[in-house]
Structure 1
Amino acid sequence: MSRDVRNSEEAPEENDALQLEGGEEEEEEKSSSGHRRYLTRSGAERMHKELLRLLNEERPKVTAEVSAAAAQGDRSENAEYIYGKKRLREIDRRIRFLQKRLDTATIVTPSEQPDPSRVYFGATVTLEDEDEARVTYQIVGSDEIDTAGGRISVESPIAKALLRKKVGDTVEVHRPRGEIEYTLVQIRYL
């Protein structure tokens, strides 16, 4: 599901990173932490590919293995059958999870951001710390996190501090290792 989403600077709620065109608040299923679920277009495509792979490749393969193991006789002591059934439950659980996430998430295309001069969901930001070391992150949904790949959650301390900031702004980030100050060097929407 794709929606035209816009950002608002007018008295935003702490947790809101996006609003619908016309300022109308979205009524979305919220995560356990109270935040809306957003996915970037590329994140949704990765989840959709995984869903298709599980449905079209993994599940049929495991189902065939379970059927073959069941044909061998006594199922109570058949390790292949027991393991296969367990694996099938795991696959079905992951399929349900992916379907629910894709059905309830708001898909955002970062390149269509109406105000690219500020940091919002989907932004790729370059930051410079006090020692002039630079780091680049993309702000994504909690289902897309990959810190090694430079994707951080919109709910992370860094992302929360950066939302609605402009190039040149300095933010103080409270993190477990202590506070650090970053200067926003670049904002891109890919």
Structure 2
Amino acid sequence: MRKGFTRRPAAEQPAANHATNYITPGGLKRLKDERHFLLTKDRPAVVEVVAWAAGNGDRSENADYQYGKRRLRQIDGRIRFLTKRIEAAEVVDPAAPRTGQRATRVFFGATVRYANAAGAERVVSIVGTDEVDLERNHISWASPLGRALMKAAEDDEVVLRAPGGTETLTVLEVRYEGISVEAFREPPGSEVSTEKLDR
């Protein structure tokens, strides 16, 4: 048998790649709130609709049943995704006291004021990949800008390599403070009315 078809003993297999999910306390709460909503409200409501639709006869042409089953698969997939992200979470509180370089250089949770070559200033907060909110200037630590700013201190020049080109930025200020993450809100119309089931 060729080597490509043999299985390595368990001791020789490489460790699974478990990427750490850096996240702020507010971001973790939002993930947990969404999972709780899906498990306790959204999924049970859809299960009720599917059970009602299944009792209406032929399932192959039953739109309520077909849509309900598809929606259940989507919900279950989202619950699995959220569970993995929560289990891999490493919470970093931006407001926690810091000393030494951790207080003066850019790391996860930093709020950074910088200027481009034209002198235009911008302020961004570096958060987790699940917390990106461009309207609030929350960028991911894994984004091109987040990576360019990492470990920089005030007055440092960094090079931003983005798909649109290369740009030199000057770090003007690095500070650590609480970062307000938008709380999870139930989507409008998420309540499934069971009144229509009494047709």
| Superposition TM-score, scaled by structure 2 size | 0.74
Deviations 1:121-168 (A, max 9, x none): 111111111122111211122222223331222112211121111112
**In percent, how many aligned pairs have the same letter?**
41
8 Å CA contact 2:18, 2:88 repeated in 1: no
- 2:95 aligns to what SS in structure 1? helix
> Which position in structure 2 is the counterpart of 1:88?
72
Consecutive unaligned residues in structure 2, runs of 5 or more:
1-14, 179-199
- 2:161 aligns to what SS in structure 1? strand
Deviations 1:25-70 (A, max 9, x none): xx99533xxxx32111111111111111111111111111111111
Worse overlay, 77-86 or 48-57: 48-57
**Compared with structure 1, are the counterparts of its residues 135 and 163 closer, same or farther at alpha carbon in structure 2 (3 Å cutoff)?**
same
C-alpha separation between the residues in 2 aligned to 1:155 and 1:44? Answer: 17
> Which position in structure 2 is the counterpart of 1:18?
none
C-alpha separation between the residues in 2 aligned to 1:157 and 1:107? Answer: 22
- Say whether 1:51 aligns with 2:39: no
C-alpha separation between the residues in 1 aligned to 2:136 and 2:103? Answer: 22
> Which position in structure 2 is the counterpart of 1:3?
none
RMSD of equivalent CA atoms: 1.8
- Say whether 1:122 aligns with 2:106: no
Q: How many residues align?
A: 160
Q: Match of 2:82, as an amino acid?
A: L
C-alpha separation between the residues in 2 aligned to 1:138 and 1:71? Answer: 52
* Greater relative CO, 1 or 2 (CA 8 Å, sep 6+): 2
1:3-14 correspondence to structure 2 within 5 Å:
none
> Which position in structure 1 is the counterpart of 2:157?
170
The Cα of 1:100 is off from its aligned counterpart by 1.2
> Which position in structure 1 is the counterpart of 2:173?
186
Deviations 1:53-109 (A, max 9, x none): 111111111111111111211111101100001001100110111011101221111
